[in-house]
Amino acid sequence: MNDQFDSDQADEEELGKSKSQLKREMHALQDLGKHLMELRPDQLPGLPMSDTLRAAIEESRRIRQNEAKRRHLQYLGKIIRQEEQLEDLIKAVEACDAGSQEHTRRLHLAERWRDRLIAEGDAAVAEFMAWCPGTDVQHLRNLVRNARRDVEKQGNAGQPRKLFRYLRECIDRDNG
């Protein structure tokens, strides 16, 4: 009985929307589905999505005919519409997009933290740990120490780059 009530309530909400608005929303969901299909396979595991959607995306990689792709995109749009964490999924997809503002913001954030950590040392490490609590302190301190040594010697052992990569992982994981 409760499912029927929820369904009726959802239908009433959609009755207030025009047919054009409903079409625009479905096309936006299909565009999201197309973007999901275009992601690299290694980018999919980190995205918050249902197993049904994940299986449909995997299935889409095997489809070659244009008309079949079009129908499958409609199916993806229907599945995405039922996703519980749609906003989180959209944010995660935008973060994967190398040209997105979110991606650029995270890169700049990691660069600023790397520079601060190298310049300030343990004081900045404590601040980063408070901001990004899931970080491995010992590993971070080791990376900072190696990066500082590399910068002081004006060497090119790639230690600041390793620190940057680790910071990016932490930022993506804890502040996604």
Would you say residue 27 has pLDDT above 70? yes
Range of the domain at 113: 101-174
Indicate the pLDDT class of residue 139, thresholds 50, 70 and 90. very high
Indicate the pLDDT class of residue 141, thresholds 50, 70 and 90. very high
Please check whether residues 64 and 106 belong to one and the same domain: no
Please check whether residues 18 and 66 belong to one and the same domain: yes
Reported pTM: 0.49
Q: CATH number, domain at 142?
A: 1.10.60.30
d(CA 32, CA 28): 6
Would you say residue 29 has pLDDT above 80? yes
Q: Which of 65, 96, 127 is the last residue of a domain?
A: 96
Indicate the pLDDT class of residue 100, thresholds 50, 70 and 90. low
Residue 134's pLDDT is 80
Please check whether residues 116 and 86 belong to one and the same domain: no
Structural domain total, the chain: 2
Please check whether residues 27 and 106 belong to one and the same domain: no
Q: Which of 63, 96, 129 is the last residue of a domain?
A: 96
d(CA 169, CA 106): 10
- Could you give the angle at the alpha carbon of 128 between the alpha carbons of 127 and 134, nearest 5°? 125
What are the angstrom distances between the C-alpha of 53 and each of 2, 69, 80, 176?
25, 15, 7, 20
Q: Which of 96, 116, 148 is the last residue of a domain?
A: 96
